[in-house]
Amino acid sequence: MSAARITPWGAVTGGALRANGGRLVLSVAAIALGVALGYAVQLINQAAVNELSAGLATVAGDADLEVRGPRAGFDESLFPAVAARPEVALASPVVEVDAKLAGDRGELALLGIDVFRAGPIQPGLVGEGEDGLDVLRPDAIFLSVAAADALGVKRGDRVGVLAGLEPVELRVAGLLSARTPGRLGVMDIAAVQDRFGRVGRITRIDLRLRPGTDVAAFRAALQAELPPGLVVARPEASLRAATSLSRAYRVNLNVLALVALFTGGLLVFSTQALAVVRRRTQLALLRVLGVKRRALAVTLVGEGAAIGAAGAALGLVAGYALAAAAVSIFGSDLGAGYFRGVTPRLGVEPGSAAAFFLLGVAAAVLGSLAPALEAARAQPGPALKAGDEQRALARLATPWPGLALWAAGLAASFLPPVRGLPLFGYAAIACLLVGTIVLMPRVAHAALSAAPRPRAVPGALALDQLRGAPGQASVSLAAIVAAVSLMVSMAIMVASFRQSVDDWLDRVLPADLYVRASMTTDTAFLSPADLERLAAIPGVRRSEPLRAQRILLAADRAGVALLAKPVDPADPARQLPLVGAFVVPKPGDPPPAWVTEPMVDLYGYRIGERIELPIAGRMAPFVVAGVWRDYARQQGAVMIQREVFVALTGDANANAVALWLDPGASPDAVSRAVAAAVPGGGNLEIATPGEIRDISLSVFDRTFAVTYALEAAAVLIGLVGLSSSFSALVLARRREFGVLRHLGMTRRQIGAMLAVEGFAVSAVGLAVGLAIGWLISLVLIHVVNRQSFHWGMELHVPWAGLAALGAVLLALATLTALASGRQAMGADVVRAVKEDW
């Protein structure tokens, strides 16, 4: 290599690469992991949402507007009235039912369409069969490819769909276009009406307007004429409503993935900070030799960028693989149950890939920025002298940025959500975390100064070293605090959530046996006759039917569950897990409605308030008589008395029945009797509270499995950062160890010194991490969760788990320190005293 080709980059970085290969690999890996997680989560979410929106787009087609209402639908007489309006070029009526398949084969979104009207708007819904008339025949169903695959049927096979509890046999007349996504079936609109008890009712009208129509004005005019409970909106509103439920969950996962990236950036910071310290004299020499400040800073930041680019590139590849694996194992909602019936296809998402690549590079660049600027700023003269390392990190000890971040974080935790997302909550967590990390040198110094100086020389020296060099210690501390606080906050949040769910399950499952036709579909139900038969079964002391419907209160929100069961207004707490006080309606008041927490957050319902709900095409008045907790329906639910519901709708069917048994009656025997007592009883789901609780908690755990995994990744990166920074520090102190050996310290004493250092640093980090983690968990519980999912929970700190976690961390940190010391204590420490760098 000619001398002319020696660049600052080559001079600064070349040697560092050779000397620090292992740590650089770690940095690259950390960025790669962060990017991989972020990209994977993004890909999976995007795939699920794409699939969902593609499904909705197929169903909505290229309609200009759609009229929607409650799940129970609305009177079909609205259809000709809307279709005949002069602005309407084409109106396509649709009956949508969530159908339950016979033989426990799951669910199917069943659409009844008028092929002549749907064809031009929703071509994806028109099936291809051998016989053209099958699109009209009442026994024919066309399945999407996904549905046919899921059910394992092909053209000519039969599927049974429950109407009530009895199956309606349908012939698979053909498949929908392969481009039609989702798990759905399409029939003639008349057939769906006729065969599933929907005669006279439709659930949607899709409108194509004449060219030149002012869509907004027409929408407003039509909306004014629609019966209560119906909305006319652009199809995008449906998509927003459909994705609104999972949105907060998806954002949560993204944030967790970004946390992993953040800890990766932290690792780059610690690596680069220490590398800069180690190369301080080299860098100063380069400055003396005439390398400009700017060039030096650019070179050092360039190193960070290179690390980031390498890591990000690796991360994108790993992220895609991860996403593919996760989707095949957990499904596109990563086990959370948001996207039932959605079969996602992963795309590469160039936009997201670019974004995460840039994020990865940015994390690494930001991580290397402070050390680079500091190195460039240093006066070359003093830096050339040995013993100047401490100064390198002194700048990080300024308290004001940290305090400002803290103040901002605390303030942000009191701000409301932004478009349904707890953005300020996330900001608060970020501020608290970063603020704490920035403050760590001060905090560490204060904490270590307060600690008594041990009598034994190694311990005393360890403490002196830590007190004397809080900047260096704080690099390790940043990693520990970040890892511990994130881990602790998530642990507290999840433990609180799980315990709250557990308590809630106790309160919502008071009966001995639960009999369910289907809670989520429209076609399966128990008729009043079925209910009477169940109540008459020997051993059944009391039965409580529950009807579930869905009503629409806002165009761009998911439908709200309208539930009806017998509730005693004087004592609603007996049947509902109320939160706080309740009111008893006075004589002359409208009937009571008990609403869930999301209704309070999303619709502003207040206790004692008079509200109107669109039920059966009328606005029915109610009084909000209480607020209850419901972890089952994130979109909100309203419970009304069964007799009120029946009076309003004339619908006396039930989705489920809770049975209380006579003392001594066998749940097993009653279960068998239930299945035998009603026609089609074999299609009922019968479960004891224990079984439901087990299923619910396992669903809960599955939902949080990915959360745990992401969190574990973040913590892992944090720990790797800790050990990496610690071993770097120890290596940097080889000369000091050499001196101490000269002065007569044994290897063991130096080991003990390092162990004490490791222990002390981790103890401080752990203590601060616990405190901040607890604080962050409060933000998670009361801000992020509440604003994302609208449900409250009680704080439960998993003390035993946290104690174990702390012990493990302390032990790990001590061992890491010891191991680093052993690595650093080779014979050449003696010669290190001769090294000038």
Partner 1 sequence: MGMRSVLSPVFCPLSSEPRRAFLAAALALLAPLARAREVAYPAVRPRELVFPRDHGSHPEYRTEWWYVTGWVRDDRGNDFGIQVTFFRNRPGVAEESASAFAPRELLFAHAALADPRHGRLRHDQRARRAGFGLAQAAQGTTDVRIDDWWLRLEGDVYRTSIAARDFSLALSFRPTQPILLQGERGYSRKGPDPAQASYYYSRPHLAVEGTLGADGRTVRVTGKAWLDHEWSSEVLSADAAGWDWVGVNLADGGALMAFRIRARSGETLWAGGTLREAGGRVRALAPGDVAFRPARHWRSPRTGVEYPVAFALRAGTLDLVLEPLIDDQELDSRASVGTVYWEGAVRALAAGREVGRGYLELSGYWRPLRI
Partner 2 sequence: MIAIRDVSKAYAGPRERSVLTAISLELARGEYVAIMGESGVGKSTLLNLVAGLDRPDAGAIVVDGVEVTALDDDALTALRRARMGFVFQAFHVLPYLSVAQNVALPLALLGVAAGEAQTRVGAMLDAVGLADRAASMPRELSGGELQRVAIARALVHRPAVVLADEPTGNLDPESAAQILALLAATIRAHGATGILVTHSHAAAATADRILTLTRSGLREETRR
Residues that bind partner 1 (CB under 8 A): 76, 79-80, 83-84, 93, 114-117, 119-120, 123, 126-133, 135-138, 174, 177, 188-191, 193-194, 199-200
The smaller minimum CB distance to partner 2, of residues 246 and 465, is found at 465
Smallest distance from partner 2 to CB 414, Å: 42
- Considering CB distances under 5 to 8 angstroms, the limit depending on partner class, which of partner 2, partner 1, none binds residue 745? partner 2
212: contact with partner 2 by CB under 8 A: no
Q: How many CB atoms lie within 10 A of CB 382?
A: 12
449: contact with partner 2 by CB under 8 A: no
Smallest distance from partner 2 to CB 30, Å: 29
- Considering CB distances under 5 to 8 angstroms, the limit depending on partner class, which of partner 2, partner 1, none binds residue 85? none
> Which residue type occupies 80?
P
Q: Cα separation of 500 and 512, whole Å? A: 21
Smallest distance from partner 1 to CB 496, Å: 51
Q: Cα separation of 463 and 458, whole Å? A: 9
Each residue 451-470 as x (binds partner 2 by CB under 8 A) or -, in order, gives ------x--xx--xx-xxx-
Q: Which residues contact 376 (CB under 8 A, 6 or more apart)?
A: 293, 294, 296, 297, 300
The smaller minimum CB distance to partner 2, of residues 398 and 746, is found at 746
* Distances, alpha carbon 352 to alpha carbons 39, 45, 252, 254, 513, in Å: 7, 11, 17, 12, 48
579: contact with partner 2 by CB under 8 A: no
- Considering CB distances under 5 to 8 angstroms, the limit depending on partner class, which of partner 1, partner 2, none binds residue 189? partner 1
Instruction: Render 615-642 in DSSP notation, one character per residue.
Output: ETTEEEEEEEEEEE--SS-TT-EEEEEH
- CA 126, distance to chain mean position in Å, is 36
Smallest distance from partner 1 to CB 217, Å: 21
- Axis-axis angle for helices 457-468, 470-508 (nearest 10): 90
The smaller minimum CB distance to partner 1, of residues 106 and 138, is found at 138
Contact with partner 2 (CB under 8 A): which of 96, 374, 512, 736?
Answer: 736
Smallest distance from partner 1 to CB 524, Å: 21
Q: Cα separation of 484 and 719, whole Å? A: 9
CA proximity to 277, closest of 741, 716, 735: 735
The backbone torsions φ and ψ at residue 588, rounded to the nearest 5 degrees and listed phi first, read 95, -15
Q: Cα separation of 363 and 227, whole Å? A: 54
The smaller minimum CB distance to partner 1, of residues 93 and 738, is found at 93
Q: In the window 358-397, what residues touch partner 2 (CB under 8 A)?
A: 386-391
Please compute Rg for the chain using Cα positions: 33
CA proximity to 16, closest of 474, 368, 377, 360: 368
The smaller minimum CB distance to partner 1, of residues 202 and 648, is found at 202
User: CB of 738 within 8 A of CB of 830?
Assistant: yes
Torsion sign across C-alpha atoms 342, 347, 352, 356: positive
739: contact with partner 2 by CB under 8 A: yes
- Considering CB distances under 5 to 8 angstroms, the limit depending on partner class, which of partner 2, partner 1, none binds residue 746? partner 2
The smaller minimum CB distance to partner 1, of residues 51 and 114, is found at 114
834: contact with partner 2 by CB under 8 A: yes
Smallest distance from partner 2 to CB 271, Å: 22
Contact with partner 2 (CB under 8 A): which of 198, 204, 741, 796?
Answer: 741
Which of these segments, 1-9, 429-437, 657-665, 744-752, binds partner 2 (CB under 8 A)?
A: 744-752
The smaller minimum CB distance to partner 2, of residues 139 and 464, is found at 464
Cβ neighbourhood burial of 133 (10 Å; 0-12, 13-18, 19+): exposed
User: CB of 528 within 8 A of CB of 658?
Assistant: no
* Region of residue 170 (phi > 0: left; psi between -120 and 50: alpha; otherwise: beta): beta
- Considering CB distances under 5 to 8 angstroms, the limit depending on partner class, which of partner 2, partner 1, none binds residue 742? partner 2
Smallest distance from partner 1 to CB 178, Å: 10
The smaller minimum CB distance to partner 1, of residues 173 and 717, is found at 173
Smallest distance from partner 2 to CB 335, Å: 51
The smaller minimum CB distance to partner 1, of residues 75 and 651, is found at 75
The smaller minimum CB distance to partner 1, of residues 195 and 219, is found at 195
742: contact with partner 2 by CB under 8 A: yes
Smallest distance from partner 2 to CB 630, Å: 58
Q: Cα separation of 769 and 385, whole Å? A: 36
| CA-angle at 63, arms to 61 and 65, nearest 5° | 140
- Considering CB distances under 5 to 8 angstroms, the limit depending on partner class, which of partner 1, partner 2, none binds residue 104? none
* Distances, alpha carbon 108 to alpha carbons 186, 197, 219, 381, in Å: 10, 17, 31, 76
The smaller minimum CB distance to partner 2, of residues 699 and 731, is found at 731
* Distances, alpha carbon 664 to alpha carbons 113, 409, 659, in Å: 52, 58, 14
Each residue 408-447 as x (binds partner 2 by CB under 8 A) or -, in order, gives ----------------------------------------
Which of these segments, 246-254, 588-596, 608-616, 742-750, binds partner 2 (CB under 8 A)?
A: 742-750
Q: Cα separation of 433 and 425, whole Å? A: 12
Smallest distance from partner 1 to CB 188, Å: 7
Q: What is the 3-state secondary structure (H, E, C) of 655-696?
A: CEEEEEECCCCCHHHHHHHHHHHCCCHHHCEEECHHHHHHHH
Which positions lie near partner 2, rule CB under 8 A? Answer: 386-391, 457, 460-461, 464-465, 467-469, 735-736, 738-739, 741-747, 830, 833-834, 836
